[in-house]
Amino acid sequence: MTQTTSTAASWLMIAALGLTWGGAFLVIELALPGITPFWLAAARISFGTVLTGIIWVLRGARLFTRPPETAQRINLVIIAVLSSAAPFMLLSWGQQYVTSGFAGVSMASVALIVLPMAHFLVPGERMTWRRLAGFLIGFAGVVLLIGDQLFASSGASLELPGRLACLGAAACYAISSVQMRQLPEVDPVGLSAILLAIGAICVIPVAWAVEGPPPMVDNQTLLAVGFLGLVPTAAANLLRVTVVRTAGPVFMSLVNYQVPIWSVLLGALILGEALPPSLIWAMMLILAGVGLSQFGALTRLFAKG
């Protein structure tokens, strides 16, 4: 297992991931009218698997630097289920019954779930008072940004199970990030391809059992699914694997504070939605929380520059 270090490239990657995943909500809204939720998850994972797999094969199809043990193979399957299959299905189902505000805060809670887990399971990721305070300040910024929507009820009869599904998806992302850090030396492209492939194998039978055969889709839906498979799934999964393996799961969890900001900003720019008056204050809190929690990494980064 490599030493956890965040570099300028790491910061650029989590910024790109925040923008990518924040914009994915808009594309999902465009796709859902033309396809059922579980088949949307299956289609984007399958498309991402094909794209990542082609790149992996062209690179020589290497994965582990040495033959993995049985326990490592089992861990790989668990990570695949928790990093794509389970959260994609949980979110697709849960978001039918909860407000978008609750879903946004659920994703931001990944950072708070990762912090205590990494403290005990990942060398070099010990929880300090400064790091904890930074994450709490950042989380407060997300809550301020979402505002009253967090406490609003969707009125759906299955709202409570829907909320539990969203929180379950957040827990899946947190656990898989920590577990991914436990893997031995591995090719990041190969790991990304394998994780998506196992995820597709898990999601497709569930989608077929729950929603029947895959539906026929129109051109707009097909383009939306293709984009979701290429950018927020294939490319983003590769970036996520790289960040977790090099900079650690705690650093990676900072992405979850950016996603609501980008979602709000892109909604205003593309859909003409009104910007919340709390946006500036929320952004200041989130940036302050990130700066406080990553003070040591930022100091080392600028010292090198």
Does residue 257 belong to any structural domain of this protein?
A: yes
Residue 176 domain flag: yes
Q: pLDDT value at position 89?
A: 86
Written as six digits, the tokens of 52 are 């990542």
Residue 186 pairs in a beta bridge with 64
pLDDT by residue for the chain (305 residues), tens only, comes to 445 566 778 889 988 998 888 888 778 777 878 888 899 999 999 999 999 999 898 888 777 777 777 888 888 899 999 998 898 888 878 877 887 667 777 878 888 888 888 888 777 777 788 888 888 888 888 888 777 766 667 777 888 888 899 889 889 999 998 888 877 777 888 888 999 999 999 999 999 999 999 988 899 899 999 999 999 899 988 898 888 888 888 888 888 888 888 877 887 787 777 777 777 888 888 888 877 777 665 565 455 54
Structure confidence at residue 202 (pLDDT): 92
For residue 49, give the amino acid letter.
Answer: T
CA 183 to chain CA centroid, Å, is 19
Which SS3 state, helix, strand or coil, does residue 137 take?
helix
Residue 3, in any domain of the structure: no
Classify residue 153: in a domain, yes or no.
yes
- Count of structural domains, the chain: 1
- Which pLDDT score, from 0 to 100, does residue 251 have? 84
The reply to whether 216 falls in a domain is yes
How far apart are alpha carbons 63 and 159 in whole angstroms?
A: 41
Query: Position of tokens 């931001």?
Result: 108
Residue with tokens 């302050």: 288
Backbone angles phi, psi at 157, to 5 degrees: -65, -25
Q: How many CB atoms lie within 10 A of CB 242?
A: 18
**2 is a domain residue:** no
- 1 domain residue, yes or no: no
Q: Within 10 Å of residue 227's Cβ, how many Cβ atoms?
A: 18
Domain that holds residue 51: 8-304
Q: What angle do CA 162, 243, 163 make, to 5 degrees?
A: 5
